[in-house]
Protein backbone atom coordinates (compact mmCIF):
# COMPACT_ATOMS: atom_id res chain seq x y z
CA UNK A 1 0.00 0.00 0.00
CA UNK A 2 2.79 2.38 0.97
CA UNK A 3 4.68 1.54 -2.20
CA UNK A 4 1.65 2.20 -4.34
CA UNK A 5 1.22 5.59 -2.67
CA UNK A 6 4.86 6.36 -3.42
CA UNK A 7 4.58 5.42 -7.07
CA UNK A 8 1.23 7.02 -7.80
CA UNK A 9 1.37 10.23 -5.76
CA UNK A 10 4.83 11.15 -4.53
CA UNK A 11 6.94 10.44 -7.60
CA UNK A 12 4.72 12.28 -10.10
CA UNK A 13 4.54 15.27 -7.72
CA UNK A 14 8.33 15.46 -7.52
CA UNK A 15 8.55 15.28 -11.30
CA UNK A 16 5.99 18.05 -11.78
CA UNK A 17 7.73 20.33 -9.29
CA UNK A 18 11.06 19.69 -10.99
CA UNK A 19 9.60 20.50 -14.38
CA UNK A 20 8.16 23.74 -13.01
CA UNK A 21 11.50 24.69 -11.48
CA UNK A 22 13.34 23.88 -14.71
CA UNK A 23 10.94 26.11 -16.63
CA UNK A 24 11.44 28.90 -14.14
CA UNK A 25 15.21 28.79 -14.50
CA UNK A 26 14.97 28.99 -18.28
CA UNK A 27 12.80 32.11 -18.20
CA UNK A 28 14.57 33.59 -15.21
CA UNK A 29 12.40 36.70 -14.80
CA UNK A 30 9.15 37.47 -13.06
CA UNK A 31 6.68 39.83 -14.70
CA UNK A 32 5.47 42.64 -12.43
CA UNK A 33 1.75 41.83 -12.69
CA UNK A 34 -0.62 43.97 -10.63
CA UNK A 35 -4.26 43.95 -11.72
CA UNK A 36 -5.09 46.81 -9.34
CA UNK A 37 -2.48 49.21 -10.77
CA UNK A 38 -4.69 51.09 -13.23
CA UNK A 39 -1.99 53.59 -14.26
CA UNK A 40 0.27 50.70 -15.33
CA UNK A 41 -2.59 48.95 -17.15
CA UNK A 42 -3.45 52.14 -19.02
CA UNK A 43 0.16 52.66 -20.12
CA UNK A 44 0.28 49.01 -21.17
CA UNK A 45 -2.96 49.29 -23.18
CA UNK A 46 -1.56 52.26 -25.05
CA UNK A 47 1.71 50.45 -25.78
CA UNK A 48 -0.21 47.39 -26.98
CA UNK A 49 -2.61 49.30 -29.23
CA UNK A 50 0.13 51.43 -30.77
CA UNK A 51 2.69 48.70 -31.36
CA UNK A 52 1.04 45.33 -31.71
CA UNK A 53 -2.29 45.65 -33.53
CA UNK A 54 -0.57 46.30 -36.85
CA UNK A 55 0.18 42.62 -37.05
CA UNK A 56 -1.74 40.91 -34.24
CA UNK A 57 -5.42 40.94 -33.40
CA UNK A 58 -6.97 40.69 -29.94
CA UNK A 59 -10.37 39.52 -31.11
CA UNK A 60 -11.74 38.69 -27.66
CA UNK A 61 -11.04 42.17 -26.34
CA UNK A 62 -13.45 45.08 -26.83
CA UNK A 63 -12.16 48.62 -26.53
CA UNK A 64 -14.96 49.51 -24.10
CA UNK A 65 -13.64 46.98 -21.58
CA UNK A 66 -10.82 49.48 -21.06
CA UNK A 67 -13.35 51.24 -18.84
CA UNK A 68 -12.58 48.48 -16.30
CA UNK A 69 -9.07 49.91 -15.96
CA UNK A 70 -10.28 53.42 -15.32
CA UNK A 71 -10.56 54.99 -18.78
CA UNK A 72 -13.71 56.84 -19.83
CA UNK A 73 -15.43 56.13 -23.15
CA UNK A 74 -14.30 59.57 -24.31
CA UNK A 75 -10.65 58.96 -23.40
CA UNK A 76 -10.72 55.65 -25.26
CA UNK A 77 -12.27 57.30 -28.30
CA UNK A 78 -9.91 60.30 -28.32
CA UNK A 79 -6.62 58.56 -27.53
CA UNK A 80 -6.80 54.92 -28.51
CA UNK A 81 -9.13 54.49 -31.47
CA UNK A 82 -7.97 54.94 -35.02
CA UNK A 83 -10.20 56.24 -37.78
CA UNK A 84 -13.48 54.44 -38.22
CA UNK A 85 -13.42 52.27 -35.08
CA UNK A 86 -16.10 52.37 -32.41
CA UNK A 87 -15.72 51.85 -28.66
CA UNK A 88 -17.80 48.67 -28.86
CA UNK A 89 -15.51 47.10 -31.47
CA UNK A 90 -13.06 44.31 -30.76
CA UNK A 91 -9.33 44.84 -31.30
CA UNK A 92 -8.92 43.69 -34.87
CA UNK A 93 -5.71 43.51 -36.85
CA UNK A 94 -4.71 46.13 -39.40
CA UNK A 95 -2.91 43.66 -41.66
CA UNK A 96 -4.43 41.22 -44.08
CA UNK A 97 -3.56 37.63 -42.97
CA UNK A 98 -2.55 36.70 -46.53
CA UNK A 99 0.03 39.51 -46.63
CA UNK A 100 1.26 38.52 -43.19
CA UNK A 101 1.80 34.97 -44.34
CA UNK A 102 3.70 36.22 -47.38
CA UNK A 103 5.91 38.57 -45.34
CA UNK A 104 6.61 36.53 -42.22
CA UNK A 105 5.93 32.96 -43.35
CA UNK A 106 3.39 32.63 -40.51
CA UNK A 107 0.28 34.55 -39.55
CA UNK A 108 0.91 36.46 -36.29
CA UNK A 109 -1.38 34.77 -33.71
CA UNK A 110 -4.26 36.48 -31.91
CA UNK A 111 -2.92 37.78 -28.60
CA UNK A 112 -6.17 37.97 -26.55
CA UNK A 113 -5.25 35.05 -24.32
CA UNK A 114 -1.51 34.82 -25.01
CA UNK A 115 -0.65 35.33 -21.33
CA UNK A 116 -2.85 32.40 -20.35
CA UNK A 117 -1.22 30.23 -23.01
CA UNK A 118 2.44 31.10 -22.36
CA UNK A 119 2.43 32.70 -18.91
CA UNK A 120 3.14 36.34 -18.03
CA UNK A 121 6.80 35.65 -17.21
CA UNK A 122 7.36 34.15 -20.63
CA UNK A 123 5.78 37.13 -22.44
CA UNK A 124 7.83 39.52 -20.26
CA UNK A 125 11.03 37.65 -21.12
CA UNK A 126 10.10 37.39 -24.79
CA UNK A 127 9.56 41.11 -25.27
CA UNK A 128 12.95 41.79 -23.65
CA UNK A 129 14.71 38.88 -25.33
CA UNK A 130 15.26 39.97 -28.95
CA UNK A 131 18.83 39.99 -30.20
CA UNK A 132 20.64 40.57 -33.49
CA UNK A 133 21.13 37.46 -35.61
CA UNK A 134 22.19 37.86 -39.23
CA UNK A 135 21.27 34.26 -40.07
CA UNK A 136 17.50 34.80 -39.75
CA UNK A 137 15.26 36.43 -42.42
CA UNK A 138 14.36 39.38 -40.15
CA UNK A 139 17.87 39.82 -38.73
CA UNK A 140 16.49 39.16 -35.24
CA UNK A 141 16.29 36.15 -32.99
CA UNK A 142 14.87 35.68 -29.50
CA UNK A 143 16.29 34.08 -26.38
CA UNK A 144 13.01 32.36 -25.39
CA UNK A 145 11.69 31.73 -28.93
CA UNK A 146 14.42 30.43 -31.19
CA UNK A 147 14.21 31.62 -34.84
CA UNK A 148 11.06 33.61 -34.17
CA UNK A 149 9.46 35.11 -37.30
CA UNK A 150 8.55 38.36 -35.51
CA UNK A 151 10.97 41.26 -35.96
CA UNK A 152 11.94 43.29 -32.88
CA UNK A 153 9.27 45.98 -33.26
CA UNK A 154 10.43 47.91 -30.18
CA UNK A 155 14.14 48.05 -31.02
CA UNK A 156 14.09 51.85 -31.17
CA UNK A 157 13.09 51.86 -27.52
CA UNK A 158 15.29 49.01 -26.31
CA UNK A 159 18.27 49.37 -28.62
CA UNK A 160 20.15 46.37 -29.98
CA UNK A 161 21.27 43.33 -28.04
CA UNK A 162 23.55 40.50 -29.06
CA UNK A 163 23.86 37.05 -27.57
CA UNK A 164 27.16 36.26 -25.90
CA UNK A 165 27.57 32.62 -26.85
CA UNK A 166 29.98 31.91 -23.99
CA UNK A 167 27.92 33.24 -21.11
CA UNK A 168 24.60 32.70 -22.96
CA UNK A 169 23.56 36.17 -21.79
CA UNK A 170 22.27 39.13 -23.76
CA UNK A 171 24.40 42.25 -24.04
CA UNK A 172 23.19 45.68 -25.05
CA UNK A 173 25.52 46.87 -27.79
CA UNK A 174 23.55 49.90 -29.02
CA UNK A 175 21.41 51.83 -26.56
CA UNK A 176 17.83 52.74 -27.46
CA UNK A 177 15.65 55.70 -26.51
CA UNK A 178 14.92 54.14 -23.12
CA UNK A 179 17.41 53.04 -20.48
CA UNK A 180 17.33 49.29 -19.67
CA UNK A 181 15.30 49.90 -16.50
CA UNK A 182 12.86 52.19 -18.33
CA UNK A 183 12.46 49.59 -21.06
CA UNK A 184 11.81 46.86 -18.47
CA UNK A 185 9.15 49.05 -16.89
CA UNK A 186 7.59 49.67 -20.31
CA UNK A 187 7.44 45.93 -21.01
CA UNK A 188 6.20 45.35 -17.45
CA UNK A 189 3.21 47.61 -18.17
CA UNK A 190 2.63 45.94 -21.53
CA UNK A 191 2.67 42.48 -19.96
CA UNK A 192 0.44 43.65 -17.12
CA UNK A 193 -2.07 44.84 -19.71
CA UNK A 194 -1.84 41.58 -21.67
CA UNK A 195 -2.51 39.66 -18.44
CA UNK A 196 -5.59 41.81 -17.81
CA UNK A 197 -6.74 41.22 -21.40
CA UNK A 198 -6.33 37.45 -21.04
CA UNK A 199 -8.58 37.46 -17.98
CA UNK A 200 -10.41 40.78 -17.60
CA UNK A 201 -12.68 39.47 -14.85
CA UNK A 202 -9.83 38.36 -12.59
CA UNK A 203 -9.74 41.35 -10.29
CA UNK A 204 -13.51 41.34 -9.80
CA UNK A 205 -13.40 37.63 -9.13
CA UNK A 206 -10.69 38.03 -6.52
CA UNK A 207 -12.53 40.90 -4.87
CA UNK A 208 -15.70 38.81 -4.83
CA UNK A 209 -13.65 36.06 -3.21
CA UNK A 210 -12.88 38.31 -0.22
CA UNK A 211 -16.55 39.18 0.21
CA UNK A 212 -17.43 35.48 0.11
CA UNK A 213 -14.83 34.74 2.79
CA UNK A 214 -16.10 37.64 4.92
CA UNK A 215 -19.67 36.38 4.53
CA UNK A 216 -18.62 32.87 5.56
CA UNK A 217 -16.78 34.32 8.57
CA UNK A 218 -19.85 36.24 9.73
CA UNK A 219 -22.03 33.18 9.15
CA UNK A 220 -19.65 31.10 11.27
CA UNK A 221 -19.98 33.48 14.19
CA UNK A 222 -23.77 33.61 13.85
CA UNK A 223 -24.05 29.84 13.50
CA UNK A 224 -22.02 29.30 16.66
CA UNK A 225 -24.14 31.78 18.57
CA UNK A 226 -27.29 30.11 17.31
CA UNK A 227 -26.00 26.71 18.31
CA UNK A 228 -25.20 27.95 21.80
CA UNK A 229 -28.71 29.36 21.98
CA UNK A 230 -30.36 26.07 20.95
CA UNK A 231 -28.28 23.97 23.28
CA UNK A 232 -29.04 26.29 26.17
CA UNK A 233 -32.74 25.46 25.84
CA UNK A 234 -32.14 21.75 25.41
CA UNK A 235 -29.90 21.68 28.49
CA UNK A 236 -32.57 23.53 30.43
CA UNK A 237 -35.20 21.04 29.22
CA UNK A 238 -33.11 18.17 30.58
CA UNK A 239 -32.79 19.69 34.00
C1 LIG B 1 5.51 43.39 -37.92
C2 LIG B 1 4.50 42.50 -37.42
C3 LIG B 1 4.42 42.28 -35.93
C4 LIG B 1 4.25 43.23 -34.95
C5 LIG B 1 4.08 44.73 -35.11
C6 LIG B 1 4.19 42.50 -33.69
N7 LIG B 1 4.33 41.16 -33.91
FE8 LIG B 1 4.30 39.70 -32.51
N9 LIG B 1 4.55 38.27 -33.91
C10 LIG B 1 4.64 38.51 -35.28
C11 LIG B 1 4.80 37.25 -35.96
C12 LIG B 1 4.96 37.06 -37.48
C13 LIG B 1 4.77 36.23 -34.98
C14 LIG B 1 4.88 34.73 -35.19
C15 LIG B 1 6.26 34.30 -34.84
C16 LIG B 1 6.52 32.82 -35.10
O17 LIG B 1 5.62 32.00 -34.98
O18 LIG B 1 7.69 32.51 -35.43
C19 LIG B 1 4.62 36.93 -33.70
C20 LIG B 1 4.59 36.28 -32.47
C21 LIG B 1 4.37 36.90 -31.26
C22 LIG B 1 4.30 36.24 -29.99
C23 LIG B 1 4.49 34.75 -29.75
C24 LIG B 1 3.22 34.04 -30.04
C25 LIG B 1 3.30 32.57 -29.70
O26 LIG B 1 2.96 32.23 -28.55
O27 LIG B 1 3.71 31.79 -30.54
C28 LIG B 1 4.06 37.20 -29.03
C29 LIG B 1 3.89 37.00 -27.53
C30 LIG B 1 3.99 38.44 -29.72
N31 LIG B 1 4.19 38.25 -31.07
C32 LIG B 1 3.78 39.65 -29.08
C33 LIG B 1 3.76 40.88 -29.72
C34 LIG B 1 3.57 42.13 -29.04
C35 LIG B 1 3.31 42.27 -27.54
C36 LIG B 1 3.64 43.10 -29.97
C37 LIG B 1 3.56 44.60 -29.75
C38 LIG B 1 4.58 45.16 -28.89
C39 LIG B 1 3.88 42.45 -31.26
N40 LIG B 1 3.95 41.10 -31.07
C41 LIG B 1 4.00 43.12 -32.47
C42 LIG B 1 4.61 39.74 -35.91
C43 LIG B 1 4.47 40.97 -35.26
Q: For 74-99, how does the pLDDT look when each residue is reduced to its tens digit (9 = 90+)?
A: 999 999 997 778 999 999 988 888 89
Q: Ligand 1 atom closest to Cα of 153?
A: 5
Q: To the nearest whole number, what is the mean pLDDT of the chain? A: 89
CA of 56 to the centre of ligand 1 (A): 7
User: What's this model's pTM, rounded to 2 decimal places?
Assistant: 0.81
Please report the atom of ligand 1 found closest to the CA of residue 95: 2
User: Do 118 and 38 share a structural domain?
Assistant: yes
pLDDT band for 25, please (50, 70, 90 cuts).
Answer: very low
User: Is 86 inside any structural domain?
Assistant: yes
Q: What is the CATH number of the domain that holds 126?
A: 1.10.760.10
Domain hosting 24: range is 1-30
Phi, psi at residue 186, to the nearest 5°? -60, -45
Distance 34 CA to ligand 1 centre (A): 23
Provide the greatest CA pair distance for the chain. 93
In this structure, the answer to whether residues 155 and 186 fall within a common structural domain is yes
**pLDDT (tens digit per residue) in 162-194:** 999 899 899 999 999 999 999 999 999 999 999
As for ligand 1, residues whose beta carbon falls within 6 Å of it are 51-52, 54-56, 104, 106, 108-109, 111, 114, 118, 123, 126-127, 148-151, 153-154
Domain shared by 7 and 107, yes or no: no
Q: Which of 43, 56, 99 to mutate to test the pocket of ligand 1 (most atoms within 8 A of CB)?
A: 56
Both 10 and 76 in a single domain? no
Of ligand 1's listed atoms, the one at least distance from the Cα of 54 is 5
- Number of other CB atoms surrounding residue 215 within 10 Å: 10
Are residues 105 and 150 located together in one domain of the fold? yes
3-state secondary structure of 148: coil
For residues 9 and 37, membership in a common domain is answered with no
> Which pLDDT score is estimated for 12?
66
Q: Are residues 20 and 123 in the same domain?
A: no
pLDDT in the model for residue 118 = 95
Do 16 and 88 lie in one domain? The reply is no
19 and 133 assigned to the same domain: no
Of residues 139, 126, 93, 97, the one with CA closest to residue 26: 126
Domain-located, residue 150 = yes
Number of independent structural domains in the chain: 2
| Same-domain pairing of 60 and 165 | yes
77 and 41 housed in the same domain: yes
21 and 77 inside one domain = no
Non-local CB neighbours of 131 within 8 Å, separated by 6+ positions:
140, 141, 142, 143, 160, 161, 162, 163, 170
Closest ligand 1 atom to Cα of 109:
24
Amino acid sequence: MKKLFLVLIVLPSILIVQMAVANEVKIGVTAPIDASDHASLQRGAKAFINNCLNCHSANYMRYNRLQDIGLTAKQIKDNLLFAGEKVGDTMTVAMNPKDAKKWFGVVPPDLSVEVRARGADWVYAYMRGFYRDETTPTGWNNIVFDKVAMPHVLYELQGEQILNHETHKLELVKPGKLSPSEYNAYIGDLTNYMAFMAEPGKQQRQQLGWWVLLFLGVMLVLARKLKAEYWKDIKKGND
